[in-house]
Structure 1
Amino acid sequence: MPQVETTQAEAPQVETPQVETNAETHEEPKIGIRVDERTGRRIIESVQEPFTNEEPKQEEPKQEEPKAETEQQEEPVQDSQPVQTTQQTQQNQPIQTQPIQTQQIQNHPLPFYSPAEMTLAIQMGQVDQNRIPPEYAAQYAAMVSRNAPKPKSEAELRNDFLDSVNKMAKERTMKDLGVTDEELSTGEFSDDENIRNKVERYKTQLEINRTNIISEYAEQVRIEQLKAQQANDFKASVASWINEQRAREPHFDDIGFYMQEHYKTMPYEKAASIAPAMQKALSGNLDPQSAQVIQNYYNDCRKEYYAKLNGTSTTPTPRSPTVERRGTGKSVEKPVDYAEKLRNASVRDKAAIVGEWLNAMKG
């Protein structure tokens, strides 16, 4: 009997945990994600039946208190906004980092040359300075400085000049006398007297042509130097004239602006010679002929500028012819030139001059 009681007492201790464990296994809720049809948001909720989700989730480790875990997971059902924000942040995270990655790729420097690539770039003459490895930078700089063209010395330049003179003299002499290279090489030892004479004439004419070529070159250099000196003198004279006019004329800049626009409104026959000269002056390629045109055009524009400034005209006013009366023997007073007065008068004095003119016409 004591043994039986002991067995009955131990049985509930072994079976009871198994029954409770199975019951807890069947009653444990599962968590799922449901899309709200009205708002389109994803909501976490507990379901009893198994489900399949497109986004697999990692299984969470089981805890000793499944009920407490169920309560913690059921709380987001009441307030799904934090879950939605977290998921949207995870979905938008690649989009936010994409411009940063693109910028890093663009700013990333190109890799250094390998030895084979370095050799190929040097052979093709397309070396990127930023891709030269640091260990090859000194060698590449030495190679560039070694292969750079060095300026020729005065003796080398003189020898090159004499070589070109001899070549030109030989070509000119052979063309003038009709001598061939074969005749020059064997002419001195030829049995034909005509060929020997031709070779002798060639030697004499060669020296003459060499001297003429040197003289022609010297004359060409002299002419170029003279042209350069004349161009410098002309530029100096233009600059001196501009400075003189600027110091003398207070409205020099305004007249210059007026010159740039006035010829565009002139008749074609007058503007045809002024427009090219103005283009040369604005581009800095003024020549003596164009300078004379610009100078005359400046004087005309200066008169018209002051005429507009004073409200007068540059064209004379037509007058009717007057008939001389019979003399009385008395001294005749010289008539007053009111037009000249108006031309040189100020704005305030013009009204008085016009009134005086009208009274003189009535009298």
Structure 2
Amino acid sequence: MIDFNLQLFAEGETTDVSTATTTNGNVAGAAQESQPESLYLVTDPRTGRKRISAAKSEPTEPVETKTDEPPAQDEPESQPAEPTEPTETKPAEPAATEPAAEKQPEPLIHTEPYTLDELNTAIAQGNVNESRIPQQYQLQYAQYQQEQARRHQQYQQQQQSLQMQAQQQQLEQQKRMFADIDKAATDQAMKALGITQDDIDTAEYSDDDAVKQKVAHFNTAKSYYKEQLIGAIKQQQMRTQAAQNEQRAIYQSIVDFTQQKQAEEPHFADINQLMDSYYQTMPYKDAAVIGDAIKALQDGNINPTQCKVLEGYYDKCRTAYYAKANDLTKQPKKVPVPKVEQPGTGAKAPAKPIDFTQMRNMTVRERRAFIAGLSGR
């Protein structure tokens, strides 16, 4: 605050001074006092505006000058907002980020206890984290584990029992097969050498060398025939396996052909449906071959030749389908051939012969006219 004494400059201008003091609300005091007053130039610390204030020359006057501030406090109502407002809005910025903070990223490894639905889902998926099982569900989960262990053990026992039964059946089949081979080889050797079962049974105790020699030849022939039978069985198994492999290859080629046509042909489903009955409208010779191929396909014993037949049959059904869709099956209408006149030679046409038989039914007058017409020719 600047203390500036204006008394030296205000002599003889009491009216102006009283007017100045009127603005400060001290008009009555200025009129009654006879002593001169001190005027001060006061600067408002908030607005920076200067004003004139009158106060007594008492030690308490500086305090009285402060009492003049309330009128100055009314002035900021019309003053513009102070620049401190932006600083007041800064604390509000975290509130704008609150919605983004509400969604927290999920942890990579969950450690919180399971809910009932989460526990059931984990059990169904087979990836239960036992450290996350709540206390109230631990007993039930332990009982569940025991039940699962019991079922697993029972399943393993059943599988072992079935495996043992399968092995036993396989051994029994092998025994029966070797017994059948042995019997068949024995019969063939006995028939080839003319030996009987009594000769074989008594040869060890017989003194006849011929019988012993015959039994020795029998054993050799039996071994030979047994090897022949075993070899034949192996060849049969190999042929069966080769036939099965060929059959699988044939059906795989059919699957590949079907997938290819299905990808290329937009109306494959309609054509495939047409193949079920279209061959019945074809000539008998072609229909019989196609019908046999279709039956072999359904029975599972189709051969490569029949596959080629079905491929050609598909092409015929496709052609028939598009012909029907494009209305190309109707017979074309017969159009009459236009008659064209041949060029003439310029000669006169020969006269037509006269039919005199017409005069039989004519009257006398008509006959005269007819004869008159002949004279004009």
TM range (shorter): 0.3 to 0.5
Greater Rg, structure 1 or structure 2? Answer: 2
Please state which structure has a larger fraction of its residues in helix: 1
Q: What TM-score do you get using the length of structure 2 for normalisation? A: 0.40
> So what's the TM-score if we normalise by structure 1?
0.42
